[in-house]
Structure 1
Amino acid sequence: MRDAEKTIGLLIDKQKVAFMGSVDSDGFPNMKAMLAPRKREGIRVFYFTTNTSSMRVAQYRQNDKACIYFCDKRFFRGVMLKGTMEVLTDTEHKAMIWQDGDTMYYPGGAEDPDYCVLKFTATCGRYYHNFSSEDFNIDNYETKI
């Protein structure tokens, strides 16, 4: 792949849904569909919103290993990124990705205690296209904000 950040970034930006993986207390993988990330920094850092009271938040607090997957079903290609997930509850990060209309889910606004940010930091990935897969290390690519 000539320019992983550009190729994968374009694939990600066109998706409305992301799939997020976590590990439960029994060590089994759990997968969930989420709305696309609110913000990304290159192909290394991604920010999502969720409920602080959710099962996923509890799992990430216990075990921060995570993956996210983006699928372009039209061209049958996708990318899985592996890394860690942080649960952020500080005002700065919550305000950074807050959007109009979020009060539908978080009536208390950006200060709502049941609103938090999930910050995913990738370490490596696997890109699937043209009936083949390719592993890559995120450290090989500069993060452009």
Structure 2
Amino acid sequence: MTIATDTDQSVEKLVDLIKDIEFCMMTTIDEDGSLRSRPMASNKEIEENGDVWFFTYASSHKVVEVNQHHQVNLSFSAPDKQRYVSLSGTAELVRDRAKMEQLWKPALKAWFPQELEEPDIALLKITATKAEYWDAPAGWVAKAVGFVKAATTGDREDLTENKKIDRL
């Protein structure tokens, strides 16, 4: 019998928050030590342990960066749902054809016109090490209840769930 720990439940919540957010900003470290961010499409591919996969061109500048400095950060946001996630981890280039076939989606053809036959196609795997998320009810009813409670009690109402996960 497996007993779920607080960390297990936090990682499960993290995965649940990210799985509906298709795009994120990936931050890498450039050759001069500065931070660089760019939008990436995860295609909603996140594993149960928090690892995230991206299709990429193996010769792209971001791959040069992660080969020099493996540390990266992924920032996911869904403002309409009041969901925000920061995921830190290490990146590695993966050229596993079977994994690419498993993760391929037709929409990726916009970036990879030759699909899996692109000569330079590869995967970038982000192995999650730390994360933090913020999740708040986005509906007007939940917000209104919070405001009314704050106004009547004089206490600041914070409906946001915030959790740091230091080990994934």
Q: Which stretches in structure 1 are left out of the alignment for 5+ residues?
A: 140-145
Distance of aligned partners of 1:4 and 1:51 in 2 relative to their CA distance in 1, 3 Å threshold: same
- Distance across 1 between alignment mates of 2:9 and 2:15: 10
Asked whether the 8 Å contact 2:42–2:53 carries over to 1, the reply is: no
What are the Cα deviations for residues 124-144 of structure 1, in whole angstroms up to 9, with x where unaligned?
1112345674321233xxxxx
- The reply to whether residue 120 of structure 1 matches residue 141 of structure 2 is no
Residue 56 of structure 2 aligns to which amino acid in structure 1? T
Q: How far does residue 7 in structure 1 lie from its aligned partner after superposition?
A: 2.4
Asked whether the 8 Å contact 1:52–1:115 carries over to 2, the reply is: yes
- The reply to whether residue 51 of structure 1 matches residue 80 of structure 2 is no
Q: Which residue pairs with 2:166 in the alignment? A: 137
Q: Aligned match of 2:10 in 4, 10, 25?
A: 4
- Distance across 2 between alignment mates of 1:50 and 1:100: 15
Residue 106 of structure 2 aligns to which amino acid in structure 1? D
Q: Which stretches in structure 2 are left out of the alignment for 5+ residues?
A: 1-6, 136-158
Q: Which residue pairs with 1:143 in the alignment? A: none
Structure number with higher helix proportion: 2
Which structure has the larger Rg? 2
Asked whether the 8 Å contact 2:10–2:163 carries over to 1, the reply is: no
Q: How far does residue 91 in structure 1 lie from its aligned partner after superposition?
A: 1.9
**C-alpha RMSD of the superposition:** 2.4
Q: How far does residue 104 in structure 1 lie from its aligned partner after superposition?
A: 4.3
* Consecutive aligned runs of 4 or more in structure 1 exceeding 6 Å deviation: none
Larger RCO (alpha carbons 8 Å, 6+ apart): 1
How many matched pairs?
A: 139
Residue 136 of structure 1 aligns to which amino acid in structure 2? I
Asked whether the 8 Å contact 2:28–2:62 carries over to 1, the reply is: yes
SS in 1 for 2:112: coil
Q: How far does residue 27 in structure 1 lie from its aligned partner after superposition?
A: 0.9
Residue 166 of structure 2 aligns to which amino acid in structure 1? N
Q: How far does residue 37 in structure 1 lie from its aligned partner after superposition?
A: 3.9
* Range 40-49 or range 106-115, more displaced: 106-115
- Distance across 2 between alignment mates of 1:73 and 1:86: 29
- Distance across 1 between alignment mates of 2:81 and 2:109: 35
* Range 36-45 or range 56-65, more displaced: 36-45
Q: Aligned match of 1:87 in 83, 93, 100?
A: 93
Structure number with higher strand proportion: 1
* Range 79-88 or range 106-115, more displaced: 106-115
Asked whether the 8 Å contact 2:19–2:46 carries over to 1, the reply is: no
Asked whether the 8 Å contact 1:23–1:29 carries over to 2, the reply is: yes
- Distance across 2 between alignment mates of 1:109 and 1:101: 10
